[in-house]
Amino acid sequence: MANALTLLKEVFGYPAFRGAQADIIEHVATGGDALVLMPTGGGKSLCFQIPALLRDGCAVVVSPLIALMQDQVAALREAGVNAALLNSSLDAQEAARTERDFVAGKFDLLYVAPERLVTPRFLELLRRARLSLFAIDEAHCVSQWGHDFRPEYIQLSILHEQFPEVPRIALTATADELTRAEILSRLQLEAARVFISSFDRPNIRYAIAEKNSARDQLLAFMRAEHAGEAGIVYCLSRRKVDETAAWLTAQGIPALPYHAGLDQQTRAQHQARFVNEDAVVMVATIAFGMGIDKPDVRFVAHLDLPKSIEAYYQETGRAGRDGLPADAWMAYGLGDVVQQRRMIDESEADETFKRVSYRKLEALVGLAETAGCRRVLLLTYFGEESTPCGNCDNCITPPRVWDGTEAAQKALSCVYRTNQRFGAGHLIDVLRGNDTERTQRFGHDQIKTFGSGSDRGDKQWRAVFRQLIALGYLEANEHGALQLTDAARGVLKGEVSVSFREEAETPRKRERGGKKAAFIDSLNNPAAGPLLDALRAWRAATAREHNVPAYVVFHDSTLEAIAANPPRSLDDLRGISGIGAKKLERYGEALLNLATNSNEQSFN
């Protein structure tokens, strides 16, 4: 492990391992198989990159997305590591040359897509090469119970069958117990050691708002908390992505759409702008984000409910990879539950899969409706105990809870007396005594519950129905009609009491300005601001010259460390996190010149 620590410092520029990294690296480097669950930003990549450098031969990294491969290979090359990729972005001549170099042993790591890896031709290449290990990234893709199932991943069991002597490490940021079991089974990793790090991302503040005017709510959130900062906004449909991006742009926010309906060139251009520029907001379907290593995404917002807690955690995890404060914000309403339920009902999946999907949706609705700490509930889902975090909307502004037993009985009775055939809108009209064409046509203005809920407004009743679904007393069918569950009987008979949460006020804003302003304010050094600006400008120019994202050259935290304590020598730079030997050799003099010039200008 002394060699591993040397590599960590000299190649990657980090002073020490974090969490379970050292144990994982030692286990894999000595030939053991492993399943690693580690949150986004927790340092998963080092868990296979360092063993790849310690072991003889080339590590083959299975990765599902071109963007993921390109970013990691670019970062490794910047650090002086011999890394390459094989995917559809290469022309035939480049691919042939890469294959020859792979067989000749010229690489430490080779990134490849699962579809290519399982072809007979590539398996023959593997037999001709000297292999150090197999790394299967985004391993949750193998699970049919997961949120991002990819059929080609199932075939990766062939690695164990044909190369049993080569150690394998599977990695993911998101997997509940059921998904973990399927990963181990399908990849034939039953004998592997399982490493589970904490799922907690303490720098992310979770907030879920009752959906009212979702776009206006989003705009208010962005302007109050993240003006001029990068973020991702997720929507369920391509049309909503396009409309939301256009609307944000009209409001003066640089926003771009991203979804599978756009041509490949447009998607690539939009992704490049998001990755390389500082304040672009990407509005996207879930097709965007996996494998995007941009560390300074300051917020992730959802305008539609995801399918599961795993999907929510994976998507929100793309915020704050640099460890600095970030937000996960979502607008949620009753229509979201009905829509997701309809999608499950109308899918061609078998009944077992649908039942699992319903349970996952119910767990996410429970997270949205809880009056307690959202982080506690989120971590409990992944089998981790915790205490209230103080950094979610419910902790910052606790919602009031009221005895809703009588309101629940009226709502459930209304569902029963209207023959369980109607959605929340019509039921609310009946409860409030609204004399509409539909209430008259169906004779619902004559039933006992008509007008029984006139003491509450439309918004309150909508919250009641939404929470009755979350509590399991109602369910929505594929047409959006609300129906009683078996559990509703106890409420109607007065045997079970019901409590509802009352929507809290808008959470207090985090006491901070922009990230850069907060950093400058923390220093008693007037030269820090101009030096940081100069470092950012130099990094942007260097990234363009090398055709890589800016964060591949250096992360913000490295530039901030330089600005906070301007170096006077290469030895000073060597002690800064993120500056390894190769980057010191390549960029050291330029960084020293910037620091010296900034000090001189400040002095003058």
Mean pLDDT calculated for residue range 249-258: 96
93 assigned to some structural domain = yes
Q: Write down the pTM of the prediction.
A: 0.78
Percent of the chain past pLDDT 70, that is, above it, reads 93
347 assigned to some structural domain = no
pLDDT at 339: 87
**Under 8 Å between Cβ of 333 and 361:** no
341 assigned to some structural domain = no
Q: How far apart are alpha carbons 255 and 232 in whole angstroms?
A: 9
376 assigned to some structural domain = no
**Under 8 Å between Cβ of 395 and 389:** yes
> Could you read off the pLDDT of 95-145 as tens digits, one per residue?
999 999 999 999 999 999 999 999 999 999 999 999 999 999 989 889 876
Q: Amino acid letter at 581?
A: A
Question: Domain check: are 37 and 183 in the same one?
Answer: yes
> Could you read off the pLDDT of 476-508 as tens digits, one per residue?
877 778 999 999 999 999 999 999 888 655 544
Residue 524: pLDDT band by 50, 70, 90 thresholds?
low
- Using the Cα atoms of residue 107, residue 111, residue 117 and residue 121 in order, give the sign of their dihedral: negative
Find the Cα–Cα–Cα–Cα dihedral 259, 265, 271, 274, rounded to 10°. -110
The CATH number for 431's domain is 1.10.10.10
Phi-psi region of 305 (alpha: psi -120 to 50; beta: other; left: phi over 0): beta
Question: Domain check: are 40 and 185 in the same one?
Answer: yes
Residue 603: pLDDT band by 50, 70, 90 thresholds?
very low
Question: Domain check: are 160 and 245 in the same one?
Answer: no
Give the pairing of strands 326-332 and 400-403. unpaired
375 assigned to some structural domain = no
Question: Domain check: are 394 and 430 in the same one?
Answer: no
| pLDDT > 80? residue 175 | no
pLDDT at 272: 85
**Under 8 Å between Cβ of 179 and 140:** yes
- CA–chain centroid gap for 92, Å, is 34
| pLDDT > 80? residue 2 | no
Domain boundary among 168, 196, 224: 196
Domain boundary among 349, 373, 399: 399
> Could you read off the pLDDT of 48-94 as tens digits, one per residue?
999 999 999 999 999 887 777 888 899 999 999 999 999 888 889 99
For 281, 308, 330, 367, the CA distances from 312, given in Å and listed in that order, are 18, 6, 10, 10
117 assigned to some structural domain = yes
| pLDDT > 90? residue 293 | no
451 assigned to some structural domain = yes
Question: Domain check: are 90 and 123 in the same one?
Answer: yes
Question: Domain check: are 527 and 591 in the same one?
Answer: yes
Question: Domain check: are 35 and 171 in the same one?
Answer: yes
Domain boundary among 166, 196, 226: 196
Question: Domain check: are 232 and 260 in the same one?
Answer: yes
65 assigned to some structural domain = yes
Q: Tell which residue, 292, 286, 246, has the closest CA to residue 268.
A: 292
> Could you read off the pLDDT of 18-51 as tens digits, one per residue?
889 999 999 999 999 999 999 887 889 999 999 9
| pLDDT > 50? residue 604 | no
Question: Domain check: are 29 and 100 in the same one?
Answer: yes
> Could you read off the pLDDT of 527-544 as tens digits, one per residue?
678 888 899 899 989 988
What single string gives the DSSP state of each residue in 304-367?
S--SSHHHHHHHHTTS-TTSS-EEEEEEE-HHHHHHHHHHHHHS---HHHHHHHHHHHHHHHHH
Question: Domain check: are 122 and 239 in the same one?
Answer: no
pLDDT at 383: 86
Query: What are the helix and strand counts (H, E) for the chain?
Result: 28, 17
Those residues whose C-beta lies under 8 Å from the C-beta of residue 215, and which sit 6 or more positions away, are: 244, 247, 303
Residue 516: pLDDT band by 50, 70, 90 thresholds?
low
pLDDT at 602: 52
| pLDDT > 60? residue 290 | no
The CATH number for 540's domain is 1.10.150.80
**Under 8 Å between Cβ of 28 and 133:** yes
| Boundaries of domain holding 426 | 401-502
Q: Tell which residue, 604, 603, 597, 552, has the closest CA to residue 578.
A: 552
Secondary structure (H, E, C), 377-431: HHHHHCCCCCCCCCCEHHHHCCCEEEECHHHHHHHHHHHHHCCCCCCHHHHHHHH
Question: Domain check: are 458 and 472 in the same one?
Answer: yes
Question: Domain check: are 478 and 567 in the same one?
Answer: no
Residue 512: pLDDT band by 50, 70, 90 thresholds?
very low
Q: In the chain, how many domains are there?
A: 4
In the three-class reduction of DSSP (H, G, I as helix; E, B as strand; rest coil), residue 34 is classed as: strand
| pLDDT > 90? residue 356 | no
Mean pLDDT calculated for residue range 247-261: 95
The CATH number for 297's domain is 3.40.50.300
Residue 238: pLDDT band by 50, 70, 90 thresholds?
very high
Give the pairing of strands 131-136 and 255-258. unpaired
Mean pLDDT calculated for residue range 381-385: 89
